[in-house]
Amino acid sequence: MADFAWNGIGLAAPSGWEPTAIERDGLLLADSLGPVCELKWNRVRGSFSFDKHLRKLTRGNKNAAVRAADPDEIPAAWAEAVDRLAESGLRARSFLWRSDGNRGLGAALHHPGTGLACLIQFFIRTGDDEPAAAGVLSTLRDFSGGKTVPWAMFGLAARVPADFVLDTFSFRPGHYRVAWWRPASGKRGGRADTGKGPGLRLDFERFAPASVLLKGTTLEAWCRDRLAHAPPKTVAVDNGPGRVDWRGAAKTSMLRKVLRREILTCGRAWTPDAGNAVLAVTAEGTVSLAEATFNDICGSFTLVPEETA
């Protein structure tokens, strides 16, 4: 099983299921034959209506017949999975859909304590797919209630403080990057506020293969040349075995200090013992990130071994 965690929710999926589409609040997983699981979620305030969300799903799939499932239509394994979700605080309403000879099984989910509203559906090709779908459903988790939030995708895993929001991300061959944002106020804003104004940007990056990237150069020189938030020339870099660290002011002046518009930066890059990669974490913005917090973040950023990815 592979663990996926993204923007506040997570699940475990069979090996061979891989993300083929990633949004801030959505995932599509597929195997060698095509789509197998789709998730979409957001946070709602106030009351929640299962019927309203099912109608929304119906409007978004005009070529599919979507309806709430009766209890006697639900496989036993699926019903058990729904019961497990209820133990974690997630309420569920199951639904069925059919379209052009295809069929699916899904659930609308809501967590009253965190406001999570989620739609998850599975593409059922044969009867053997139903137990697998139930197994994945039972692993669904809402991570929004803790002090830190995990994320895990494409062989990377890390944790971020819960007051950061997901900003931008890209997964290109040789370079993965996931960026988070915290406004200077410390309050989580709406999607339109993300990445704008005074605040702090937190970047996770993975570069590969390290043996090629670092050939004929040092890790410090490579970081200064390649990182988007590279250590400024005015900031000293501490070099250790397979690791560099820095902390200081990226942009400063007397006026910036008076206006509280200094740009502060800290970063770490290192080469893990296995994986032939360079990992980097940088934090840059108008507010500083406590050294202990930054160390915890860096310590959480790891490569996930392939046998468990």
Do 101 and 229 have their domain in common?
no
Question: Among the listed ranges 58-67, 215-224, 284-293, which one has the minimum average pLDDT value?
Answer: 58-67
Predicted TM-score of the model (pTM)? 0.90
Instruction: Check pLDDT > 50 for residue 309.
Output: no
As given in the structure block, the two tokens for residue 267 are 């970063």
Q: State the residue range of the domain holding 7.
A: 2-142
Do 173 and 221 have their domain in common?
yes
Instruction: Check pLDDT > 60 for residue 190.
Output: no
Question: Among the listed ranges 37-46, 123-132, 299-308, which one has the minimum average pLDDT value?
Answer: 299-308
Do 249 and 287 have their domain in common?
yes
Number of domains in the chain: 2
End-of-domain residue from the set 111, 142, 173: 142
Do 37 and 117 have their domain in common?
yes
The single residue listed with the structure tokens 């569920």 is 92
Question: Among the listed ranges 49-53, 91-95, 111-115, 233-237, which one has the minimum average pLDDT value?
Answer: 49-53
Do 260 and 192 have their domain in common?
yes
Do 219 and 170 have their domain in common?
yes
Do 45 and 173 have their domain in common?
no
pLDDT at 58: 62
Q: Can you give the CATH number for the domain in which 218 is found?
A: 3.40.1000.10
Instruction: Check pLDDT > 70 for residue 194.
Output: no
Highest mean pLDDT among 189-193, 230-234, 250-254, 265-269: 265-269
